[in-house]
Structure 1
Amino acid sequence: MSLAQNYIARIVARETDPINQARILMLFYLIIAYTFFSLCLIFAYAYNHQNLQLTRASIIFCSAILLLVAIYFANIWKPVTHTILILLTILGVWGNLMIFVHGVNVATLQYIWLASALGFYMLGSRWGWFYAIVNIIPVLIDGAFTNKSYFFLSSMPQAVTRPVHIFVITFDFFLIIFLHYFFFKSFKRNFVKLNDTKNELNAANKKLNRTLTEVEQLANARMNFLSTMSHELRTPLNGVIGLTNALLSQDPRKDQEETLSILKFSAENLLTLVNDILDFNKLDSEKVELENTPFNLAWLVENIYASIKIKALEKQLDFKLEIAEDLKNKRLYGDPTRLTQVLLNLLNNAIKFTEKGFVKLSCVNLEQSNNQVKVGFIIEDTGIGIEESRQKSVFEAFAQASASINRNYGGTGLGLSIVKKVLDLYDTSIQLKSNLGKGTTFSFNITFPFETMALDDNNNGLQQGLSKNDLSALKILVVEDNAINILVMRKTLNKHGIEPDVAENGKIALDMLGRNHYDVILMDLHMPEMGGYEATQLIRALTDPIKANVPIIALTATVSNQVIEEVLSVGMNGYLSKPFHPQDLFTALQKFIQE
C-alpha cells in the first residue's frame, strides 16, 4: 500500500497547482480502473468467442498500460487525456454507431457523457466543447436519418451477453459518478483551503494592523515624551543661557567673563544635544515636509558664517566663505531653516574636528535654466579626517568616526544622520572625501526654483532692518508665567532700552491690552488660567482693529511641526523657540518695525 502511495505521490508532486494535482490523480485512477475493466472484458469476450469485442478490449488494455507509463515517466498528463478522449470517441461512441450496436444505446450515451465531463474537467472549456460536439454529432445524425447504412460497415450488429452488458453499463455509470464526485471533492477541498487561507490572511492582517497601531502609538508616545522632555529642558536652559548672555553684556571682570563663557558654552552644548535628538526623531518619523519660502542664499549663508565665525576664531582657524557672484542677486524658493540646519551641522563639525589650518564654505552655481538653479555646496577642512572604512557608517545614527571621537570631542553622533535625512527630503545625497590626518570635504547639490531680484533688493528687507538698532521706542508686552524667563526677557530687552510690561497669563494680558497700546506681544503658550492659544484667539476677535492685529510672537520651549502649525493657525505671526539667541529676538522685532 505504501509503495502505491509513493508511486502516486511522485506523480502528483510534479505539479504545484492544486487543481492540476487533482486532475492528474483523477486521470491516474481512471486509467487504473480501465486497465482492470478491460482485462475483465478480455476474459469475458474470449470465453464467449466474441473476437471483435475482444479486439476492442485488448486495444483499451494495452493503451491503458502505455498511458500509465507515459504519465509516470514523461509527466504528459494533457496528451494522455487527449489520447483517452480520442479512444473513447472512436472505440466507444463511433464504434457503437458503426460496428457494435448500429445505433445508440445506453452505453453509447454513457460514453458521450463520460467524454464531455472528462474534456471539461481535465482540459478546460475549449477542449470540453470540442470533444462534446465530436461525440454528440454522430448521435444527432443517427437520429436525423432513417437510413442508417451511412454508419454501417460490412459486419452486422454484435450480440453481447446480458451479464457483460450489465457489467459495462454499471462500470460506465460508476466512472461518470466518480468523475463528478472526485472533481467536486477536489474543488471543494481547494475552495475550503483557499477560504481558510483567506481567513488566516485576514487574521494576520488584523494582527498586523494592531501591531502597526501599537507601533504608531509607541512612536507617538515617544515623540510626546521627547517633546515634553524638550520643553522641560529648554525652560531652565532658557534661563541659564539668557542670564549668561545678560551678564556677559554687562562688562564683567576677566575671570568672570571666562566663567560665564564656560557656562554659556556648556549650556549651548546641552541645548544642541536636545535639539539634535528632537530633530532626529522628527525626521525619523517621516512626517517632516520641506517649506517653500523665498530667501536670498547669500544673505542666509553670510548670517550662518557670522554666527559661527567666533568659534573658528577661538581656535585660530582661517574661516573662508566663497559665494558665486551670480547667486547673490537671486531669490531662491525652498526651506531656508532646513538648509541652515544642514550647513550649521557640517560647519560646526568641521570647526570641532580641525585644530589648525582652515575651514571653507563654497556655494557655486553648477547649472541654471530659465527658472531653476542647481547650487553646489562644498565644506572643506584640514582636520583629523575619517578613515576609509568608517566613511559610510558616519551617516548612521549615533555613529562616530572612531571610539575616541566621543571621548576627545563629545557629541551624540546625530549631526550627519540629520544632514542625510534632510538632504533625502531634497531628493539629493551628500558626498564625502577624506584623508586621515589631512582633512575632509563634504559636498552636495540642491536644485532651487528662483527669480532674479532687483539690484537694490539686497539692501532691503531684513538686511535693512538689521541696521536699525534703535528698538527703544517699541512698546512690548511679555506674557509669561515663569519667573526666570521673565527675568531673562527683561534683561534681554533692557539691553536695547526696552522696558516691557509683563502679564503672568493670557487673561491678564487681555486686560492690559484693553488699557494700553502695544507694538508687539511676546506670548508664552502654556500658562495657568488662560494659555497663549486661547488668549491669541480672543485678541484676534477684538473690535478694535489696531489691537486685534497687534503682532504676536509665540515663545515656546516645545518645538514640533504640530506646535508650529497650531501657533500659526490661531493667528500668531511667528514663533521663537526657547532658549533663543538675543539676536534672533531682535531680528524678529526689527521685522515688525519695518512693517
Structure 2
Amino acid sequence: MCEDVSFFNFSIHKIISKEQSYLNQARIRLLYYGLFLVFIASGTLFISVYFQGQHLLAYTAGFLMLYVAVLFKALTYRPNWFRISHALLIAGTLINFSIVYVSLQTINIVTVQAVIVVIIFSYYMLGQTWGLVYSLLNTVPILFFLLIDYSNGYVIHIKPDKIDQATIIISLFANFILLIFIHSHLYTSFLKNIKQLKESGEEQAALNSKLEKAIEKAEKSTQAKSEFLSTMSHEIRTPLNAVIGMSNLLMMGSPRPEQKENLEILKFSANNLLAIVNDVLDFNKIESGKLVFENISFNLAELMNNVCGGQKLNAKEKGLEFTLNIDAKLNNKVFFGDPTRITQVVFNLVSNAIKFTTQGNVWVRVICLEDRHNKVTVKFSVRDTGIGIEEINRCRIFEPFTQESLTTTRQYGGTGLGLAIVKRLLDLQGLHLNVLSRIDEGSEFSFNMELPVSTAVIDEGTDTPSGETKQGGSTGLKVLIAEDNMVNVMLMKKLLSKWDIIPTIAENGERAVEFMQYGNFDIILMDLQMPVMNGFDAADEIRKMADPKKANVPIIALTASAMIDIKDKVFEAGMNDYVSKPFKPNELLEKIQSLVALV
C-alpha cells in the first residue's frame, strides 16, 4: 500500500486508493476516525480521573492515549489496517483485563460496554475467526472473575479506584459513540460492497457475453479459413493431379532424352508447387490444434534412407557432397511413433540445408544416444556449409511466412513455412530444436527424440525395392471410377490401361450408384466433390444395397480436399481408404491390390 507516503503525512486521502475494495477502504476510514475518537475520549478520561486522584485509571487512560497516537501515525504512514487492528485489539483486551482485575476490581456497565466494543470491532475488522478469538479473550476472563467474586470474593493487595458519575457518563458516552460509529460506517461499506459486487457481476456478465460472441466469431472465422483452404486446395490440387499424373505417364513411355529432361523440369516444378500447397495446409492443421500423432511401427534406418534418397539427387545437381550416417545400433529395430511427422521434420531440415548451401557438404546423422532395451533416445542432426544465420535472426526463422531477411527470400525463394512447421511439430511432442550457426560457415539443426522400440527384428529380405510395385493380381480387375473432371478421367484411363485394369467411368455419384445396381465391379475409386451427388452420399447409398457383394465392394476415396477431418469423414461414410490428389501411381496400385485381395 502507498509506499510513497511521507512519514509526516496525516491525510486519509493519501492512504486510500481506488484499487482497494469498498470494504478495505471502510476499514481504513474506521481506523482513522476511530483512533481519533478514542484519542479524544482517553484524553478526556485521563483529565477526569487524574484530578480525582485515581492513579491506576489515569495511567491506563494515559497509556491508551499515547498508544492510540502511535497507531494513528503508523496508519497514516504505512496503512496496514490488518496489523494495526490486531495491535489495537490486543491493547483493548489487556486494558479490559487490567480494569476488571486491577483498577476497579469489579464489573460495571462501562467494562461490559468496553468488551462489546472490542467484540464488534474484531468481527468487523478481522472476520469470523479472529472475532471469535478476541471475543473469548475478553469474555472468558470476565466470567472467570464473576465466578471468583461469587464464590470467595476477589481480593488483591492493590486498592481499587473509585469512579464518579461524571467519569461513568464520559465513558458511556464515548463507548456509545464508538459503537454507533462502527455500525453505521461498516453497514454503509457493506451496502457499497454489495452494490460493487452486483455491478461487477453485471460487468462480468456483459464481458462474458462479448467473449462468447468473440469466440463464436473466431470459430466462424477459423471455419471459414479452413473451408477456404479446402476449396483452394481442391482447385489447385485437381489440375496439379493432371500435370503430375501426365508427367508420370509420359516418363513411363520411354521418352527421348530431350523430352525426358523437359518432363523432369515440368514434374519438378509441379512438385514444388504441390510442396508449397502442402506446407500451407500442414501449417493450418498444426495451428488449428487438430493434429494427431500416430503410434505405428516403422524401420528408422529405412525411413531415413527413403527421406534422403531424393535429397541426394538434389544435392548432387548442385554439386554438393551429401552424407547420410545412421548408427549401426539402430539397424534391424522396430520403432514405434509417427514416421510421417519424422519424415516431415527431417525432410524440411535437409531441404533447407541444400537450398542455402551453394558449395561444400550436407551431413545427416542419426545417432543412438541411449538404448534402454524398450526405449531408445535418438539424436537427429542436419549440418551444412551454407550461408549461416545471424544470431539476431535465429528466432525470426521459426516464425511462419518469415525467412532470415528479404534478400534471402528473393535469392532462395520459398514460403518461409518449413522451419515453422518443424518447430511446431517438435514443440507439440515436447522436443527442443537446437541451432548452431556461423555466418558463411554453415548451420547445424539437431533434436533428440525418445522412441519406444520392440524386441522384434526386421526381416530385411521381405522389403520391396523403392519404386517397384508388384502388379500381379491387378490384371483384368473391373474398376468403377466416379470422377467429374474430364482431364482426371483421361489420366485415370491411361494409367489403369498400363496396369491392364478395366475402367468404367461415372460422371457423378448418382451415376456411380446406378452402375453398381446393374453391374459388378471389383473396386470403386470415388471422387468426393461431384455434381448431382457427392462421393459421401454415393458411398452411403452403395453400402445400403441389398446384394451383400455390392454393398461390401471396396471403395477408395480420391480427394484433393485439405479438410482436417477428411480422413474421419471418409471412414464414417463407409469407404475403406483414401488417396490424396495428386497421388503417386504406385501408392494407388498398392491400395487397390491390398483391398481387392481382402474381398
- The answer to whether TM tops 0.5 is yes
Query: Out of 19, 31, 36, which is 1:32 matched to?
Result: 36
Determine if the alignment matches structure 1 residue 127 to structure 2 residue 98.
no
Query: How far off its partner does 1:589 sit?
Result: 3.4
Determine if the alignment matches structure 1 residue 557 to structure 2 residue 560.
yes
Q: How far apart, CA to CA, are the structure 2 residues paired with 1:487 and 1:352?
A: 36
SS at match of 1:554: strand
Query: How far off its partner does 1:334 sit?
Result: 1.6
Query: Out of 401, 419, 427, which is 1:416 matched to?
Result: 419
Q: Write the deviation string for residues 491-526 of structure 1: whole angstroms up to 9, x where unpaired.
A: 222333334221112232233334444333211111
Where does 1:440-589 land on structure 2 (aligned, <5 Å)?
Answer: 440-454=443-457, 457-460=459-462, 466-470=468-472, 471-589=474-592
Query: How far off its partner does 1:556 sit?
Result: 0.4
Cα RMSD between the aligned structures? 3.7
Change (3 A) 1:453 1:202: same
SS at match of 2:431: coil
Contact 1:540 1:549 in 2 (8 A): yes
Q: Write the deviation string for residues 368-410 of structure 1: whole angstroms up to 9, x where unpaired.
A: 2222223333334444443444344322212223322322221
Change (3 A) 1:585 1:529: same
Q: How far apart, CA to CA, are the structure 2 residues paired with 1:71 and 1:511?
A: 95
Matching residue of 2:165: 160
Contact 2:45 2:170 in 1 (8 A): no
SS at match of 1:179: helix
Query: How far off its partner does 1:96 sit?
Result: 4.7
Contact 1:525 1:533 in 2 (8 A): yes
Q: How far apart, CA to CA, are the structure 1 residues paired with 2:552 and 2:176?
A: 95
Query: Out of 198, 207, 210, which is 2:210 matched to?
Result: 207
| Corresponding letter in the other structure for 2:351 | N
Query: How far off its partner does 1:7 sit?
Result: 2.9
Query: Out of 281, 284, 292, which is 1:281 matched to?
Result: 284
Change (3 A) 1:179 1:576: same
Change (3 A) 1:127 1:582: same
Q: How far apart, CA to CA, are the structure 1 residues paired with 2:257 and 2:154?
A: 133
Q: How far apart, CA to CA, are the structure 2 residues paired with 1:149 and 1:446?
A: 83
After superposing the two structures, state which structure 1 stretch, 175-184 or 20-29, moved more. Answer: 20-29
Q: How far apart, CA to CA, are the structure 2 residues paired with 1:535 and 1:83?
A: 88
Contact 2:334 2:457 in 1 (8 A): no
SS at match of 1:500: strand
SS at match of 1:561: coil
Q: How far apart, CA to CA, are the structure 1 residues paired with 2:39 and 2:320?
A: 98
Contact 1:35 1:61 in 2 (8 A): no
Q: How far apart, CA to CA, are the structure 1 residues paired with 2:467 and 2:174?
A: 105
Q: How far apart, CA to CA, are the structure 2 residues paired with 1:184 and 1:93?
A: 34
Q: How far apart, CA to CA, are the structure 2 residues paired with 1:68 and 1:464?
A: 93
SS at match of 2:314: helix
Contact 1:539 1:547 in 2 (8 A): yes
Q: How far apart, CA to CA, are the structure 2 residues paired with 1:165 and 1:359?
A: 100
Matching residue of 1:426: 429
Change (3 A) 1:537 1:374: farther
Query: How far off its partner does 1:416 sit?
Result: 1.3
Change (3 A) 1:581 1:177: same
Query: Out of 4, 8, 13, which is 2:12 matched to?
Result: 8
| Corresponding letter in the other structure for 1:458 | E
Change (3 A) 1:454 1:106: closer
SS at match of 2:165: coil
Determine if the alignment matches structure 1 residue 352 to structure 2 residue 355.
yes
User: Which ranges in structure 2 are unaligned for 5 or more consecutive residues?
Assistant: 1-7
SS at match of 2:561: coil
Q: Write the deviation string for residues 257-285 of structure 1: whole angstroms up to 9, x where unpaired.
A: 44444333332222211111111111112
Change (3 A) 1:184 1:365: same
Contact 1:361 1:379 in 2 (8 A): yes
Contact 2:99 2:105 in 1 (8 A): no
Change (3 A) 1:431 1:42: closer
Percent of aligned pairs with the same amino acid: 38
Q: Write the deviation string for residues 435-456 of structure 1: whole angstroms up to 9, x where unpaired.
A: 444444333332222224455x
Q: Write the deviation string for residues 183-233 of structure 1: whole angstroms up to 9, x where unpaired.
A: 333344444434544544444344334333322332222122111111111
Contact 1:240 1:267 in 2 (8 A): yes
Contact 1:39 1:57 in 2 (8 A): no
After superposing the two structures, state which structure 1 stretch, 33-42 or 331-340, moved more. Answer: 33-42
Change (3 A) 1:384 1:584: farther
Q: Write the deviation string for residues 126-167 of structure 1: whole angstroms up to 9, x where unpaired.
A: 12221122234434555x45x867589767966536xx7555
Matching residue of 2:3: none
Change (3 A) 1:296 1:511: farther
Change (3 A) 1:463 1:453: farther
Contact 1:477 1:502 in 2 (8 A): yes
Give the number of the structure whose alpha-carbon radius of gyration is greater.
Answer: 1
| Corresponding letter in the other structure for 1:409 | Y
The TM-score, its normalising length taken from structure 2, stands at: 0.84
SS at match of 2:452: strand
Query: Out of 258, 261, 266, which is 1:263 matched to?
Result: 266
| Corresponding letter in the other structure for 1:138 | F
Q: How far apart, CA to CA, are the structure 1 residues paired with 2:463 and 2:520?
A: 26
Matching residue of 1:63: 64
Matching residue of 2:220: 217
Matching residue of 1:101: none
Query: How far off its partner does 1:108 sit?
Result: 4.4
Query: Out of 247, 250, 253, which is 2:250 matched to?
Result: 247
Query: Out of 114, 119, 141, which is 2:117 matched to?
Result: 114
Q: Write the deviation string for residues 463-498 of structure 1: whole angstroms up to 9, x where unpaired.
A: 599452454333322111111111121222233333
Change (3 A) 1:389 1:38: closer
Q: How far apart, CA to CA, are the structure 2 residues paired with 1:116 and 1:395?
A: 64
Q: How many residues align?
A: 579
SS at match of 1:478: strand
Q: How far apart, CA to CA, are the structure 2 residues paired with 1:44 and 1:319?
A: 104
| Corresponding letter in the other structure for 2:389 | I
| Corresponding letter in the other structure for 2:571 | L
Q: How far apart, CA to CA, are the structure 2 residues paired with 1:594 and 1:382?
A: 49
Change (3 A) 1:547 1:462: farther
Query: Out of 360, 364, 368, which is 1:361 matched to?
Result: 364
Contact 2:560 2:580 in 1 (8 A): yes
After superposing the two structures, state which structure 1 stretch, 383-392 or 471-480, moved more. Answer: 383-392
| Corresponding letter in the other structure for 1:130 | L
After superposing the two structures, state which structure 1 stretch, 147-156 or 394-403, moved more. Answer: 147-156
After superposing the two structures, state which structure 1 stretch, 328-337 or 181-190, moved more. Answer: 181-190
Change (3 A) 1:317 1:592: farther
Contact 2:398 2:420 in 1 (8 A): yes
User: Which ranges in structure 1 are unaligned for 5 or more consecutive residues?
Assistant: 99-103
